[in-house]
Amino acid sequence: MIGFCCCTAAEYDRPGRGGTWNLLLNNSGVVAMHMVVTHHDTVIMFDQTSAGPSGFQLGGCDRRSDPTCWAHSVEYDIATNSIRPLVLKTDTWCSSGAFLSNGTLAQTGGHGDGARRIRYFRPCSNERCWWHESSETLADERWYATNQILPETDRMFVIGGINALTYEFVPKSSPHEGAFDMPFLHETRNRREENDNLYPFVHLMPDGNLFIFANRESILFDYNNNKVVKNFPRIPGDGARSYPSTGSSVMLPLTYEDGFSRVEMLICGGSASGAFEAARQGELYRALSTCGRIVLTDENPEWSIEEMPGPRLMNDMILLPTGDVLIINGARHGCAGWDHADDPVLHPYLYKPYREIGSRFSVLHRTNIARMYHSSAVLLPDGRVLVAGSNPNRHYQYDARFPTELRVEAFSPYYTDPFFDSKRALNVIVKFNHTHHGIHYGEEFVVQFDLSRRPGVIEFYAYAPPFATHSLSMGQRLLKLRCTSFTRQVGGRARARVVAPPSPIIAPSGYYMFTVVNGGVPSASKWVRFIQG
């Protein structure tokens, strides 16, 4: 049977399907303050070396006198549900990171001896990969900074941090290049609220500029010329959205249908005005319950405000392979910081961005584990969401009201239910010219998969896995790709030709999770790599 890439069908979403929770590990060894998924189907979790004894003791040393006897980073193997300890040499407390084109995690900053450090972790399949500390250092100390990978291969933009109202690049373009002053960070700084512009939200735009949001303000920034191209309107309402008020941001999926040119930003949650100072005095204000949404590429962009099902801060926002947004983790009162929040939100929210206002949110099934300060969540290739961490205490503490949390869970959205298996694309294979080590920009590649019944709407998505920490998903990106032909044989085997993104501005070079979505039901993802020709 010869068909088209998109065929008519209803979205297979049964009302009331709230997802399921599964406990994977009772002890991850370390708090997942930071978390990333690698193209070897492993997850790297790490926290801070200054937190003292963790939940995983290393061998060959005296734990009574040597603080390095305790692991503060682990590698989690998704298939075997097991962990492997990794040694960190410098403190990664509240640091940042991004993936390079070969899948290496480039990780920057932290606290104390780690504030100017640059570290690399190149994942492997033989358990012989470890953290590597570079001899090069950052120009400024970066604690609570943000990273964004740039279209230039393996170049990172690093911005902000406590007392670092600057940005810089890694690597440097010359030996004498330092940091660049950022007036926007001066303007958005609120000293009474512990700045309220730390961990700024940064997203790469399809025109090559950067969207940068801090506190309640946002700009379009030309990093090549150190120039603000555009000031966007202030997000309405009281309270801030960036750390320590700590809401979250996501760029809604980019699509080939408009040439990847339309960009819409969603920012949800945060703290009430004055929440940080109040928390220091023992009073915890109610969190914000609003989301702001703005089409950045409109001629005159304006924010549209929506109400979530409830107040929320310290929430993670994850783009699902369906194009929906999962809002998970966090609390209803307070702000980010040691013991500065209360009333955990146990129910995730699902946000369907293309429905009518008023029908976009649904409340999903709850977990029994509070995920407070220093928790994180990441999308796995099989479509589940890995949730770990939480430690609003200065050290590992298990008798606190909100204790150090080492349990690891998986949240399975509705589409993972076996009810949808008859619609799910199986045995997905991606084929391309094997004379090179990836798919070139603008190149067509072949996707083969099995369908047990007549196809619905067939769509193809590529997802850039982020560096997740403190409610940020740095580098997260979801692209809907163009299909030029689709054929399905009598036995159910399907073959499609799909076009790679047109440039590294649309999709920076590196590894992506590639997913076939049939009538709203995603397949398990396959790893693909987009590279320069």
Q: What is the pTM of this model?
A: 0.95
**Residue 524 included in any domain:** yes
- Cβ within 8 Å of residue 490, ≥6 positions away: 1
What is the per-residue pLDDT for 401? 94
What is the per-residue pLDDT for 13? 45
What is the per-residue pLDDT for 58? 85
What is the per-residue pLDDT for 408? 98
Residues 114-134 have pLDDT tens digits of 999 999 999 999 999 999 999
Query: Are 378 and 433 found together in one domain?
Result: no
Query: Are 389 and 439 found together in one domain?
Result: no
More confident residue, 483 or 455: 483
Query: Are 345 and 443 found together in one domain?
Result: no
What is the per-residue pLDDT for 113? 96
Q: Which domain holds residue 467?
A: 423-531
Average pLDDT, the chain: 94
The yes-or-no verdict on residue 84 having pLDDT over 50 is: yes
The yes-or-no verdict on residue 12 having pLDDT over 50 is: no
Query: Are 261 and 178 found together in one domain?
Result: yes
Question: Can you tell me the mean pLDDT for 180-202?
Answer: 92
**Residue 151 included in any domain:** yes
**Residue 8 included in any domain:** no
What is the per-residue pLDDT for 492? 86
Query: Are 398 and 485 found together in one domain?
Result: no
The CATH code of the domain that includes 458 is 2.60.40.10
**Percentage of the chain with pLDDT > 70?**
95
d(CA 416, CA 469): 25
DSSP state of 151: S
Query: Are 90 and 220 found together in one domain?
Result: yes
Q: Select from 381, 416, 451 the last residue of a domain.
A: 416
Produce one character per residue of 147-159: b if its CB has 16 or more CB atoms within 10 Å, e if not.
bbbbebebbbbbb
**Per-residue confidence at 172, pLDDT binned at 50, 70, 90?**
very high
Query: Are 352 and 473 found together in one domain?
Result: no
Closest Cα to residue 252, out of 458, 478, 460?
Answer: 478
Question: Can you tell me the mean pLDDT for 464-476?
Answer: 98
The yes-or-no verdict on residue 416 having pLDDT over 80 is: yes
The CATH code of the domain that includes 133 is 2.130.10.80
**Residue 6 included in any domain:** no
**Residue 5 included in any domain:** no
Query: Are 334 and 480 found together in one domain?
Result: no
What is the per-residue pLDDT for 8? 37
**Per-residue confidence at 3, pLDDT binned at 50, 70, 90?**
very low
Produce one character per residue of 216-230: b if its CB has 16 or more CB atoms within 10 Å, e if not.
bbbbbbebeeeeeee
Query: Are 171 and 245 found together in one domain?
Result: yes
Query: Are 278 and 344 found together in one domain?
Result: yes
Q: Select from 356, 383, 416 the last residue of a domain.
A: 416
The alpha carbon of 470 is separated from its chain's Cα centroid by a whole number of angstroms, namely 10
What is the per-residue pLDDT for 439? 97
Question: Can you tell me the mean pLDDT for 34-62?
Answer: 91
Residues 249-293 have pLDDT tens digits of 999 999 999 999 999 999 999 999 999 999 999 999 999 999 999
**Residue 12 included in any domain:** no
**Residue 432 included in any domain:** yes
Query: Are 95 and 152 found together in one domain?
Result: yes
Q: Select from 416, 434, 469 the last residue of a domain.
A: 416
Structurally, how many domains does the chain consist of?
A: 2
Place of tokens 């004498």: 176
What is the per-residue pLDDT for 435? 73
Query: Are 156 and 177 found together in one domain?
Result: yes
The yes-or-no verdict on residue 232 having pLDDT over 60 is: yes
The yes-or-no verdict on residue 1 having pLDDT over 50 is: no
